[in-house]
Amino acid sequence: MRDISQALIIIDVQNDFCPGGALAVEGGHEIVAGINGLMTEFQTIVLTQDWHPSGHSSFASSHDGKDPFTETEMPYGAQMLWPDHCIQGSQGAAFHADLDADKAHMIVRKGFRPQIDSYSAFFENDHETPTGLDGYLKTRDVSAVTMVGLATDYCVNFSAVDATRLGYAVSVEQSLCRAIDMGGTLATAQDGMRAAGVTLL
């Protein structure tokens, strides 16, 4: 068992990001058993959950003439447009059935504000609006976090970089992550995480 200063943050292991889902990450289901095993080592466990209202501004369907996986400009900067996914209360938004979600001490729902997306476990995509996770971890005297989940090049990446910016020692267990990897986004994310001080395991 690791000491109480270390937390495990499990990013978006939800049906829509697993095979058969609306925004499936190849091999997304393969990491579930390993994550369940890793949970036994931590005394603080956090799950994040993409939780979009219908018609969210990050959905391509909300923009006339726009296709999924193209970018548009939002007031907070560039935004990738996605297929409709992880809609609040839907089966797609639910955690993978094999994930031992009952072991979580906190669930952070993100992306629920209609006009702004949220990749990071810590901030919305404006990099300013907090989710509340930082405060929770600080009240539990957590100073180091290990991250796993989906997808390496988006929500894991943004969460890891934000965590280092907030002063945490951050590790990403890459064997328990899977990436979307569109046009080299995985390599770019890995380089960015290393530059930010994230340890890639």
Element (H, E) at 171: strand 169-178
Contact of 12 with 50, CB cutoff 8 Å:
yes
Q: Across-strand partners of 10?
A: 47, 148
Q: Residue 55: is it exposed, middle or buried by C-beta count within 10 angstroms (0-12/13-18/19+)?
A: exposed
Q: Of 149, 97, 157, whose CA–CA distance to 122 is shortest? A: 157
* Residues known to be catalytic: 12, 110, 155
Contact of 50 with 110, CB cutoff 8 Å:
yes
